[in-house]
Amino acid sequence: MFVVSIIILLIAVAIGFEIRKIEHQRQLRIAHEQAQQTLEKAEQEGKVAAKKALKSGKVETLAYQESIEQEITTDVQDNERKSTWLDQREQVLQEKEDLLNRRFDNFKSKEAGLKTEKQAVKEIKQQAEELVNKREDTLQDVAEMSKGKAKDYVLDQTSRDLKEEEKRVVRNTETEYQSSSEKEAKNLIAHSIEHSGIRSHVYSSNRTMDVPNNEALGKIIGNSGQNVRTLEALTGIDINIDDQQRLITLNGYDPMRREIAKRAMTQIVQVNRINPDIVEQIVNQTVRIVDELIRGFGEQAINELNVKNIHPDLIKFIGRMHFRTSYGQNILDHSIEAANLAGVFAAELGEDVDLAKRAGLLHDIGKSIDRDVEATHVELGVELATKYHEDPVVINAIASHHGDVEAKYVISDLVAAADAISGSRQGARSESAADYLQRISSLEGIANKYPGVQESYAIQAGRELRVIVKPNQTSDKSIEKLAGNVKDQIEQEVTYPGQVKVTVVRKLQVVEYAG
């Protein structure tokens, strides 16, 4: 029995061991399958990652290639622009070189002519001395005069002859000078305008503002008009509001104050909740912004003209000229134009180009001062330039550019000419129809008041006044006086841009018919 139990136990142990062996093999097989699946999955994921990395690398490579190509294209375009600019500068320099060569040739020919004339004068002087001696001897023989009396008589006659000859030479020289100088001046002006980079736009006014909707209009007006009254008090601008057309009109003589009011209203409509205190904050902030703009305009102008050593306080006055206009022409743009023209004039005439540009830029600086100051812009400009220790040439150019004082330097005359050209060129300035008609009527009315005037016409937009006189009531001498009187009265009574040419016409026409 005991043996049987042991055998059964051994059999049971053997069976259990076999079962555990089978289970262990099954687990091994399952683990092997799982390991195989994991390996296959890893290989699959590796292939996908590799493909993604390869694709990403290609995209990055293409993007880098495109950026490189773009940089190359940009560099090529920059080089082409620089090459074009260099070609243009080379052409300009070549033109200047040709002009200098022509002038040099003219100087050489004039020098040779002067030498010839000097030799001719020397010969004439020698002949004159011989003639004087001969006339003295003749007078002594014929008139039985003493040598002293004969000498005095000959010298007196010779002096009279020389004075008549001098008058004749002066008349001929004046005629030749007038005909040639006008042509040279026109050529110089045309060449200067061509190379001065003149702007051809008229400054747009900032008197009106469109409001996008009624909500924005309500923010500007405020509760019982509090906001708009605060704006008017802080900016000094009268604000008129058209509810129907949602149009705001800014009434005020100071363009800078109008600019502050307009910018402040633009900020007000963007604020959710608005009241007079916030309006005041916005206006104060806008004033600081406009001050920065003013300095920016001044710095931009002096950088554009390459003017050096301008006093920092004077830069602000230069920038304020951006907010001043004359017959629609922006004063800062006009000053830059005048500076460029004066610089080209100076270069052509051998004067100081930098000083001419400086004087041209500052010639209207007096217009940047507030309008409540009782003085002309010329007087204010001279005061400013003196205060900031500007060059005497610049101060004289400011003082003389309207003919108030004498121009002591060539640059002063150049600045006056540049100022006149910039203000009177076509498209530079504009004026209202009422002002235009009033000016035309004033010009014609002045001429028609004089006796002997038959009729007068203001032509070329008021830049020329043509006066037709009655030939039987006037003479050639009287019409010269008439033209001068009309010119003087126009200068005293009429405000006009540029110059007004007065032409008096006297024509006597006699007609007969043979039957």
Q: Which two tokens stand for residue 458?
A: 């203001």
Q: Are strands 247-251 and 208-210 parallel, antiparallel or unpaired?
A: antiparallel
Helical spans, DSSP H, in 369-507: 377-387, 392-400, 410-424, 433-448, 476-493
The residue to which tokens 């909707």 are assigned: 213
* Residues 178-194, mean pLDDT to the nearest whole number: 56
Q: Which residue has the higher pLDDT, 300 or 236?
A: 300
Q: Are 317 and 384 in contact (CB under 8 A)?
A: yes
Q: Give the least confident one: 196-200, 331-335, 488-492.
A: 196-200
**Higher per-residue pLDDT: 512 or 356:** 356
- Looking at residue 202, what is its pLDDT? 46
Helix 276-305 and helix 353-362: axis angle, to 10°? 160
Distance CA 351, CA 463 (A): 31
Q: Which residue has the higher pLDDT, 20 or 328?
A: 20
Instruction: Quote the CA–CA distance of 393 and 411 in Å, as a whole number.
Output: 7
pLDDT of residue 396: 92
**Of 209 and 313, which is predicted with more confidence?**
313
- Residue 479's alpha-carbon distances to 72, 309, 401, 441, in angstroms, are 73, 52, 30, 22
**What whole-number distance in Å separates Cα of residue 351 and Cα of residue 392?**
15
Provide the token pair at 95.
Answer: 């033109």
Alpha-carbon separation of residue 146 from 129, 131, 157, 160 (angstroms): 18, 18, 17, 21
Which tens digit of pLDDT belongs to each residue from 145-180? 555 666 666 667 667 776 777 777 766 666 665 555
Closest CA to 507 of 460, 448, 454, 459: 454
pLDDT at 17 over 80: no
Q: Report the candidate in 496, 198, 202 with the shortest Cα–Cα distance to residue 328.
A: 202
Adjacent-strand bridge partners of 465: 458, 502
Residue 246, sorted as left (phi over 0), alpha (psi -120 to 50) or beta, turns out to be left
Which residue blocks in 200-244 are alpha helix, DSSP H? 214-221, 226-235
